[in-house]
Amino acid sequence: MEKVFRDPVHDYITVNHPVISELIDTAEFQRLRRIKQLGTSSFTFHGAEHTRFSHCLGVYHIAKRITDYFSRNFPLEWNPDENLLTQCAALLHDVGHGAYSHTFEGLFNTDHEAVTREIITSPDTEINGILRKVSPDFPEKVASVISHEYSNPQVVQLISSQIDADRMDYLLRDAYFTGAVYGQFDLTWILRVIVPTENGIAFKYSGMHAVEDYIVSRYQMYMQVYFHASSRSMEVLLQKLLARAKSLYASQPDYFAISSPCLVPFFEQNHNLQDYLRLDDGVMNTYFQVWMSHDDEILADLASAYINRHLLKSITFDPKTVELEDLEILSSLVEEAGFNPDYYTGIHSNYDLPYDFYRPSSEKPRTEINILQKNGSLTELSVLSPLIKSLTGTIHGNSRFYFPKIMLENPEFTKYIVNDSLVINQNFTDRNSTASENTDDSVSKQLSLDDNL
């Protein structure tokens, strides 16, 4: 029986295979309706309330369009028997994402990719039971695609590469819901010029400019949306809030067992898959609202700041030139103002490599994008495109130091801010000196102040 999902990005998403339909109806996949795709970004872009559920459907839809196209037009280069495997991997690639997953993972040492594979291969999940009906080894095949270990590079690259069904959907979807028009690109044309090759996938020369547009759109989305200072401020608040709760659990286990029972296994570092699946964004937000009335001033204040969007301010700094001791100077000023720097200051770094060619010696080598020329030869994209060459191998982003907004009203803090920059003198010893003190005999470091939160 055919299912149809009306989607704001792809119009109609049609599901006509019973395995895909049954997978969508599982408890593990339905949980993704309760996990936001962009986490804390909805505090910055109010329309970004879309979920992992809608994204995974979108990735499935793109993968289905590609595999159907390959089956029709490349009978010698593509095996249609790979269609269902590719579509299942596309649908399930993010099923292991948890509540505020990236922030949560850093504090509680979880790994959404490992959880994804566990959901697919564990005999205790509904998803595994459905996949095993295809064949006993089908769950392991799906998991191997997601872990990049599957033997056919065509299938792997359609799900995970520098231009894949996952990235194509989240760029268009995130652009739509954040209102960031520079995230748009010509998906229709890209899907008309994609071709299977012996070692993966490539794109016809006639579509090279559409691929260029995709790369630039991805770069712009990272710089303008994914790395936005306000969203990262909320991530810092969330991390500090959970860290405070984790610290208090040691002395107040009964309180957390009542107020936030689903977090207890993570506080005790003794969780299993079912514990993980019980958590979602709604559960976490409910706990935060309960913590707002806790007797601990720090926990209550951080919970209130998170729920009510009371952002931390930030400055950028270059880790190559700014020493940890420099940031400790700022932390000490925050402490003198009455804030515990362990919970009211934070460093948040975001960097991205927009595009790179294959470097086998790198820690995580990337699958390069190849262009199929009219003579049948394959040429790496940056060789043909001066635009992409300018982005190749270059890392973009920044590191930020976060602090309470009220510090901007503190003379002991702001006297080091000159023309929207913070000057930290390596040799300064007297914090009571004036901002005009001569620093010609020492090395100063500039940190630009971001006041756009």
Band of residue 132 on the pLDDT scale cut at 50, 70, 90: very high
List pLDDT tens digits, range 296-344. Answer: 999 999 999 999 999 999 988 888 877 788 888 889 999 999 999 999 9
User: Per-residue confidence at 118, pLDDT binned at 50, 70, 90?
Assistant: very high
For 113, the enclosing helix (H) or strand (E) is helix 112-121
Tell me the domain boundaries of the chain: 3-227+355-393
The CATH topology of domain 3-227+355-393 is Hypothetical protein af1432 (1.10.3210)
Residue 211 has pLDDT above 50, yes or no: yes
pLDDT at 24 (0 to 100): 98
pLDDT, tens digit (0-9, with 9 covering 90-100), for 19-59: 999 999 999 999 999 999 999 999 999 999 999 999 999 99
pLDDT, position 133? 97
DSSP 355: B
DSSP designation for 262: G
Mean pLDDT score, 217-241? 96
What pLDDT band is residue 446 in, cutting at 50, 70 and 90? very low
Taking the C-alpha atoms of residue 223 and residue 121, their distance in angstroms, rounded to an integer, is 36
> Which segment of 181-185, 187-191, 296-300 scores lowest on mean pLDDT?
181-185
CA distances 185 to 130, 143, 171, 182, Å, are 35, 30, 9, 8
By mean pLDDT, which of 51-60, 176-185, 353-362 is the weakest? Answer: 353-362
**CA–CA distance, 226 with 340 (Å, rounded to integer):** 28
- Give the separation between CA 13 and CA 59, rounded to whole angstroms: 10
Residue 428 near residue 443, CB atoms below 8 Å: no
The phi, psi pair for 260, rounded to 5°, reads -150, 60
Indicate the pLDDT class of residue 107, thresholds 50, 70 and 90. Answer: confident
Is residue 35 a contact partner of residue 97, using CB atoms and an 8 Å limit? yes
Residue type (1 letter), 78 = W
Q: Where are the beta strands (DSSP E) in 287-345?
A: 313-317
Confidence of residue 431 (pLDDT cuts 50, 70, 90): very low
Identity of residue 92: L
What pLDDT does 426 receive?
43
Query: Three-state SS for 4?
Result: strand
pLDDT value, residue 449: 45
What share of the chain has pLDDT > 90, as a percent?
81
**pLDDT range class, residue 184, cuts 50, 70, 90:** very high
Among 201, 171, 200, 204, which residue's Cα sits nearest to residue 187? 171
**Mean pLDDT on 283-305:** 98
Token reading at 80 = 């249609």
Tokens (6 digits) for 393 = 């191998």
- Beta strand pairing status for 378-380 and 200-204? unpaired
Give percent of the chain with pLDDT exceeding 70: 91
Average pLDDT (215-242) is: 96
Q: Is 231's pLDDT higher than 90?
A: yes
Buried b or exposed e, range 289-322, using 16+ CB within 10 angstroms:
eebbebebebbebbbbbbeeeebbbbbbbeeeeb
Residue 267: pLDDT over 70: yes
CA gap 318, 305 in Å, rounded: 28
- Order of strands across the sheet with 444-450? 346-352, 396-403, 313-317, 444-450, 421-425, 417-418
β-strand partners of 355: 392
- The full DSSP string for 236-249 is HHHHHHHHHHHHHH
Cβ-contact 418, 445 below 8 angstroms? no
Spatial contact of 361 and 190, defined as CB atoms under 8 Å apart: no
Tally Cβ neighbours within 10 Å of residue 118. 19
Mean pLDDT of 269-297: 97
* pLDDT at residue 425, as a whole number: 57
